[in-house]
Amino acid sequence: MIRFDHYSLFFDNRPVLRDLSFAIAGPGLTAIVGASGCGKSTLLKVMNRLIEPRFQLADARNPGWSYTGGAWFDGQTLADWDGDALRRRIGHVLQKPLVFGRTLADNLVRVRRHLDGRVTREEAERLAWHCLGEAALADEIEGLDRPLGSLSGGQEQRLCIARALIAEPQVLCLDEPTSALDPFATAAVEATMRRMARKRPVIVVTHHIDQARACDRVLFLHNGDGDGARIIGDGTPREVFDVSKDSESFRFAHARSEIGGLTRSECAA
Protein backbone atom coordinates (compact mmCIF):
# COMPACT_ATOMS: atom_id res chain seq x y z
CA MET A 1 0.00 0.00 0.00
CA ILE A 2 2.70 2.51 1.07
CA ARG A 3 6.24 1.87 -0.16
CA PHE A 4 9.39 3.96 0.19
CA ASP A 5 12.48 2.89 -1.73
CA HIS A 6 15.85 4.54 -0.99
CA TYR A 7 13.92 7.76 -0.32
CA SER A 8 15.86 10.81 0.88
CA LEU A 9 14.36 14.19 1.69
CA PHE A 10 16.23 17.49 1.72
CA PHE A 11 15.45 21.03 2.79
CA ASP A 12 17.58 23.62 1.01
CA ASN A 13 19.87 20.70 0.10
CA ARG A 14 20.38 19.74 3.75
CA PRO A 15 19.33 16.11 4.36
CA VAL A 16 16.32 15.61 6.64
CA LEU A 17 15.50 11.95 5.90
CA ARG A 18 18.12 9.62 4.45
CA ASP A 19 17.77 6.48 2.34
CA LEU A 20 14.46 5.23 3.80
CA SER A 21 13.21 1.88 2.51
CA PHE A 22 10.10 0.27 3.98
CA ALA A 23 6.63 -0.90 3.03
CA ILE A 24 3.38 -0.91 4.99
CA ALA A 25 0.73 -3.16 3.51
CA GLY A 26 -2.06 -4.78 5.54
CA PRO A 27 -3.89 -3.86 8.74
CA GLY A 28 -1.81 -3.37 11.88
CA LEU A 29 -0.34 -0.76 14.16
CA THR A 30 3.05 0.63 13.11
CA ALA A 31 4.96 3.03 15.36
CA ILE A 32 7.48 5.51 14.01
CA VAL A 33 9.79 6.14 16.93
CA GLY A 34 12.80 8.37 17.43
CA ALA A 35 14.17 11.28 19.39
CA SER A 36 12.37 14.64 19.29
CA GLY A 37 13.04 16.57 16.08
CA CYS A 38 14.52 13.63 14.18
CA GLY A 39 11.97 13.87 11.36
CA LYS A 40 9.13 11.50 12.39
CA SER A 41 6.34 14.03 11.77
CA THR A 42 8.05 15.14 8.56
CA LEU A 43 7.89 11.56 7.29
CA LEU A 44 4.12 11.47 7.93
CA LYS A 45 3.67 14.78 6.14
CA VAL A 46 5.62 13.44 3.14
CA MET A 47 3.34 10.38 3.01
CA ASN A 48 0.20 12.41 2.39
CA ARG A 49 1.91 15.33 0.67
CA LEU A 50 1.37 17.96 3.32
CA ILE A 51 5.01 18.54 2.38
CA GLU A 52 5.38 18.56 -1.38
CA PRO A 53 9.05 18.20 -2.34
CA ARG A 54 10.31 18.51 -5.89
CA PHE A 55 12.11 15.57 -7.45
CA GLN A 56 15.91 15.73 -7.23
CA LEU A 57 18.02 18.17 -5.35
CA ALA A 58 17.05 21.82 -5.10
CA ASP A 59 19.32 24.42 -6.59
CA ALA A 60 20.15 27.93 -5.51
CA ARG A 61 17.35 29.41 -7.59
CA ASN A 62 14.72 26.98 -6.29
CA PRO A 63 15.34 26.39 -2.60
CA GLY A 64 12.97 24.40 -0.39
CA TRP A 65 11.97 20.75 -0.14
CA SER A 66 13.37 18.21 -2.60
CA TYR A 67 13.81 14.44 -2.70
CA THR A 68 15.57 11.53 -4.36
CA GLY A 69 14.45 7.90 -4.51
CA GLY A 70 10.88 6.70 -4.81
CA ALA A 71 7.65 6.67 -2.79
CA TRP A 72 4.40 4.97 -3.80
CA PHE A 73 0.85 4.64 -2.54
CA ASP A 74 -1.38 1.98 -4.07
CA GLY A 75 1.14 1.38 -6.85
CA GLN A 76 1.25 5.02 -7.95
CA THR A 77 4.05 7.44 -7.05
CA LEU A 78 3.02 10.02 -4.47
CA ALA A 79 3.78 12.83 -6.94
CA ASP A 80 1.29 11.37 -9.45
CA TRP A 81 -1.60 11.49 -6.99
CA ASP A 82 -3.89 14.49 -6.78
CA GLY A 83 -2.93 15.95 -3.39
CA ASP A 84 -6.49 16.14 -1.97
CA ALA A 85 -7.38 12.66 -3.26
CA LEU A 86 -4.23 11.23 -1.64
CA ARG A 87 -5.04 12.92 1.67
CA ARG A 88 -8.54 11.42 1.67
CA ARG A 89 -6.99 7.96 1.34
CA ILE A 90 -4.25 8.57 3.90
CA GLY A 91 -6.01 10.16 6.88
CA HIS A 92 -3.84 12.31 9.11
CA VAL A 93 -4.48 13.53 12.65
CA LEU A 94 -2.10 16.38 13.38
CA GLN A 95 -0.11 16.74 16.59
CA LYS A 96 -2.25 19.59 17.92
CA PRO A 97 -5.91 18.57 17.74
CA LEU A 98 -8.08 21.35 16.40
CA VAL A 99 -11.85 21.07 16.33
CA PHE A 100 -13.92 23.15 13.90
CA GLY A 101 -17.00 25.27 14.45
CA ARG A 102 -19.39 24.81 17.35
CA THR A 103 -20.74 21.26 17.30
CA LEU A 104 -19.76 17.67 16.55
CA ALA A 105 -21.79 17.89 13.33
CA ASP A 106 -19.56 20.76 12.13
CA ASN A 107 -16.60 18.39 12.40
CA LEU A 108 -18.17 15.29 10.91
CA VAL A 109 -21.31 15.86 8.81
CA ARG A 110 -20.16 19.18 7.37
CA VAL A 111 -16.65 17.92 6.62
CA ARG A 112 -18.03 14.81 4.88
CA ARG A 113 -20.32 16.93 2.72
CA HIS A 114 -17.40 19.20 1.79
CA LEU A 115 -15.39 16.13 0.79
CA ASP A 116 -18.25 14.70 -1.27
CA GLY A 117 -20.92 17.10 -2.47
CA ARG A 118 -23.22 14.24 -3.62
CA VAL A 119 -23.69 12.73 -0.17
CA THR A 120 -27.00 13.55 1.56
CA ARG A 121 -27.19 14.88 5.10
CA GLU A 122 -28.75 11.62 6.32
CA GLU A 123 -25.95 9.54 4.75
CA ALA A 124 -23.32 11.87 6.24
CA GLU A 125 -24.97 11.58 9.68
CA ARG A 126 -25.02 7.79 9.46
CA LEU A 127 -21.34 7.76 8.57
CA ALA A 128 -20.60 10.26 11.36
CA TRP A 129 -22.12 7.90 13.96
CA HIS A 130 -20.16 4.99 12.48
CA CYS A 131 -16.89 6.97 12.77
CA LEU A 132 -17.75 8.06 16.31
CA GLY A 133 -18.28 4.38 17.12
CA GLU A 134 -14.88 3.47 15.65
CA ALA A 135 -13.28 6.25 17.69
CA ALA A 136 -15.05 4.89 20.82
CA LEU A 137 -16.91 8.16 21.28
CA ALA A 138 -20.46 7.20 20.26
CA ASP A 139 -21.44 5.98 23.75
CA GLU A 140 -20.20 9.18 25.41
CA ILE A 141 -22.31 11.67 23.46
CA GLU A 142 -26.01 12.21 23.12
CA GLY A 143 -26.26 13.84 19.71
CA LEU A 144 -24.31 15.37 16.85
CA ASP A 145 -25.47 18.83 17.90
CA ARG A 146 -23.50 18.56 21.15
CA PRO A 147 -21.41 21.73 21.63
CA LEU A 148 -17.66 21.25 21.44
CA GLY A 149 -16.99 23.23 24.61
CA SER A 150 -18.29 20.33 26.70
CA LEU A 151 -15.70 17.84 25.39
CA SER A 152 -12.65 16.81 27.43
CA GLY A 153 -9.13 16.80 25.92
CA GLY A 154 -9.29 13.06 25.29
CA GLN A 155 -12.73 13.33 23.69
CA GLU A 156 -11.47 16.16 21.45
CA GLN A 157 -8.57 13.99 20.34
CA ARG A 158 -10.90 11.09 19.58
CA LEU A 159 -13.21 13.47 17.71
CA CYS A 160 -10.23 14.45 15.55
CA ILE A 161 -9.63 10.73 14.90
CA ALA A 162 -13.32 10.24 14.01
CA ARG A 163 -13.07 13.27 11.70
CA ALA A 164 -10.06 11.74 9.94
CA LEU A 165 -12.13 8.55 9.47
CA ILE A 166 -15.05 10.43 7.91
CA ALA A 167 -13.20 10.44 4.56
CA GLU A 168 -13.03 6.61 4.82
CA PRO A 169 -9.23 6.51 4.45
CA GLN A 170 -7.33 3.33 3.59
CA VAL A 171 -4.50 4.29 5.96
CA LEU A 172 -4.64 6.39 9.14
CA CYS A 173 -1.65 8.40 10.43
CA LEU A 174 -1.60 9.81 13.96
CA ASP A 175 1.06 12.30 15.00
CA GLU A 176 1.77 11.99 18.75
CA PRO A 177 -1.93 11.54 19.50
CA THR A 178 -1.54 11.33 23.29
CA SER A 179 1.18 13.91 23.92
CA ALA A 180 -1.18 16.31 25.73
CA LEU A 181 -3.45 13.80 27.44
CA ASP A 182 -3.72 12.43 30.98
CA PRO A 183 -3.28 8.66 31.58
CA PHE A 184 -7.03 7.89 31.41
CA ALA A 185 -7.49 9.75 28.13
CA THR A 186 -4.27 8.20 26.79
CA ALA A 187 -5.59 4.70 27.55
CA ALA A 188 -8.85 5.47 25.72
CA VAL A 189 -7.04 6.81 22.64
CA GLU A 190 -4.63 3.84 22.60
CA ALA A 191 -7.56 1.40 22.74
CA THR A 192 -9.15 3.30 19.84
CA MET A 193 -5.93 3.06 17.83
CA ARG A 194 -5.69 -0.70 18.36
CA ARG A 195 -9.33 -1.25 17.35
CA MET A 196 -8.91 0.82 14.18
CA ALA A 197 -5.73 -1.07 13.27
CA ARG A 198 -7.76 -4.28 12.89
CA LYS A 199 -9.30 -2.90 9.69
CA ARG A 200 -6.53 -0.80 8.14
CA PRO A 201 -2.88 0.15 8.56
CA VAL A 202 -2.52 2.70 11.37
CA ILE A 203 0.78 4.57 11.63
CA VAL A 204 1.48 6.37 14.87
CA VAL A 205 4.36 8.77 15.53
CA THR A 206 5.41 8.57 19.16
CA HIS A 207 8.33 8.81 21.51
CA HIS A 208 6.48 7.03 24.30
CA ILE A 209 8.17 3.66 24.62
CA ASP A 210 5.15 2.04 26.28
CA GLN A 211 2.96 3.08 23.36
CA ALA A 212 5.51 1.84 20.82
CA ARG A 213 5.80 -1.50 22.65
CA ALA A 214 2.05 -2.00 22.24
CA CYS A 215 2.36 -1.73 18.43
CA ASP A 216 2.80 -4.61 15.96
CA ARG A 217 5.80 -3.05 14.27
CA VAL A 218 8.33 -0.32 15.03
CA LEU A 219 10.32 1.81 12.60
CA PHE A 220 13.10 3.47 14.59
CA LEU A 221 14.46 6.70 13.09
CA HIS A 222 17.83 8.04 14.17
CA ASN A 223 19.74 11.09 12.99
CA GLY A 224 23.14 10.11 14.37
CA ASP A 225 25.61 12.09 12.28
CA GLY A 226 23.37 15.05 11.41
CA ASP A 227 23.19 13.65 7.90
CA GLY A 228 19.42 13.04 7.90
CA ALA A 229 17.39 10.49 9.87
CA ARG A 230 17.79 6.86 8.82
CA ILE A 231 15.76 3.80 9.76
CA ILE A 232 18.10 1.88 12.04
CA GLY A 233 15.49 -0.52 13.40
CA ASP A 234 12.53 -2.17 11.65
CA GLY A 235 10.69 -5.08 13.25
CA THR A 236 8.60 -6.07 16.23
CA PRO A 237 9.04 -3.87 19.34
CA ARG A 238 11.05 -6.64 20.96
CA GLU A 239 13.39 -6.96 17.96
CA VAL A 240 13.96 -3.22 17.80
CA PHE A 241 14.21 -2.34 21.49
CA ASP A 242 15.52 -5.40 23.32
CA VAL A 243 17.83 -7.49 21.14
CA SER A 244 20.98 -5.57 20.28
CA LYS A 245 22.30 -3.90 23.44
CA ASP A 246 24.72 -1.76 21.42
CA SER A 247 22.01 -0.22 19.27
CA GLU A 248 20.68 3.32 19.61
CA SER A 249 17.11 1.94 19.77
CA PHE A 250 18.06 -0.19 22.79
CA ARG A 251 19.60 2.84 24.54
CA PHE A 252 16.51 4.92 23.66
CA ALA A 253 14.12 2.31 25.09
CA HIS A 254 16.16 1.69 28.22
CA ALA A 255 17.23 5.26 28.96
CA ARG A 256 17.60 5.80 32.70
CA SER A 257 15.78 8.60 34.41
CA GLU A 258 17.81 10.82 36.70
CA ILE A 259 15.20 10.14 39.37
CA GLY A 260 16.35 7.12 41.33
CA GLY A 261 18.07 5.49 38.36
CA LEU A 262 14.79 4.08 37.04
CA THR A 263 13.90 3.48 33.39
CA ARG A 264 11.03 5.55 32.04
CA SER A 265 8.72 2.53 32.19
CA GLU A 266 9.65 1.92 35.80
CA CYS A 267 9.05 5.59 36.59
CA ALA A 268 5.63 5.37 34.94
CA ALA A 269 4.82 2.23 36.91
Instruction: Name the site residues for another protein (rule: CB under 8 A).
Output: 48, 50, 84-88, 91-94, 96, 98, 100-101, 110-111, 114-115, 163-164, 166-167
Least separation in angstroms between residue 87's CB and another protein is 4
State the burial class of residue 122 (Cβ atoms within 10 Å of its Cβ: 0-12, 13-18, 19+): exposed
Q: Using the minimum distance from each CB to another protein, give the nearer residue, 6 or 96.
A: 96
CB of 63 to another protein, least distance (A): 11
Q: What is d(CA 236, CA 9) in angstroms, rounded to the nearest whole number?
A: 26
Tell me how far, at minimum, the Cβ of 175 lies from another protein, in Å.
9
CB of 206 to another protein, least distance (A): 18
- Size (the chain), residues: 269
Please give the Cα distance from 175 to 78 (Å, whole number).
20
110 versus 130: smaller Cβ distance to another protein: 110
User: Which is closer to another protein, CB of 109 or CB of 240?
Assistant: 109
Q: How far is the CB of 121 from another protein (least distance, A)?
A: 16
Residue 94 or 214: the one with the smaller Cβ distance to another protein is: 94
Q: Which is nearer to another protein, 82 or 246 (CB)?
A: 82
- CB of 71 or CB of 93, closer to another protein: 93
* Cβ 167 to another protein shortest distance, Å: 6
The closest alpha carbon to 203, from 27, 76, 72, belongs to: 27
Phi, psi of 244 (to 5 degrees): -90, 110
